[in-house]
Amino acid sequence: MYTELRAQLDALTTEAVRPELAEIDRWSTLDIARTMNAEDAGVPAAVAAQLPQIAAAIDAVAERMADGGRLLYAGAGTAGRMGVLDASECPPTFNTDPAQVVGLIAGGPEAMVRAVEGAEDSAELAAADLAGLDLTPADTVVGISASGRTPYAVGAVRYAREAGALTIGLACNAGSELGAAAEHGIEVVVGPEVLSGSTRLKAGTAQKLVLNMLSTITMIRLGKTYGNLMVDVRATNEKLRARARRIVAQATGASPEAVESALAAASGEVKPAILILLAGVDAPEATRLLSAASGHLRQAVPPRP
């Protein structure tokens, strides 16, 4: 078993050893930092090579989420943490329900800070975690794995596909098992790491960039923005309340007094406050117009004469 696994790892670009870095522990700190920075600089280009696949996946996700579906990430170790991080940022950024974008990590919440032995090797664990969420065909499951072979991520995608959900496989090796298992394979090949096999480095950065796109552009498609303004921001602290005022002012050009009045009438919600000012309606009518436009402020704003 271990001989087979070693052979699999030896064939992976993400696990390759860089002979020219064999003395890195003897280098100056500045030289190590320069090397890492130079390696990181190539990650955006690797992501760019996958933009058509990323865009196609986003369109498919947005279509399903518009019908009430969820976006579910599944991964182990660093990959799992990236999914949990992206999911956790959606409620405060886009005012989504916490159940709408969910991150699953092999081994559960404890694995966010401590390795859970054997969790990533279990496809059955992934199936059990997803079974507890009652998947529907409107849902999307994104398996995340730098190697593209992690049983938990591959198992999650295979279980989701059998359940009729949309599946995306995000890996950092070409021709990966994960990419092949999913309907949408996204394989961002960043090459060997500065530290052999430490895929929290370039691979982790690539995963973060792709997940940023998946969630952010999906939310744009769902009407969570007005232009490039985050009009569904949840103002839960002073900084975000100040941001809400600023967004309303930027969208409408209204005076500070008018902005405060509109936000008060809209119970602090940015979208209806903007509509109150742009359409000249009261709060109940703003809410009705937004509902008729399925929450898309751009569609609810009346055309300018």
The per-residue DSSP string of 151-193 comes to HHHHHHHHHHHHTT-EEEEEESSTT-HHHHHSSEEEE----S-
Task: Name the helix (H) or strand (E) containing 287.
Answer: helix 283-292
Q: Find, among 189, 180, 161, the residue nearest to 45 by Cα.
A: 189
Q: Find, among 42, 71, 47, the residue nearest to 208 by Cα.
A: 47
Catalytic residues: 89, 120
Beta carbons within 8 Å of 267's beta carbon, 6+ residues apart: 283
The per-residue DSSP string of 59-93 comes to HHHHHHHTTT--EEEEESHHHHHHHHHHHHHHHHH
Which own/partner contact pairs does 246-255 have at CB distance under 8 Å and 24+ positions apart? 247/274, 248/273, 248/274, 248/277, 251/226, 251/227, 251/278, 252/277, 252/278
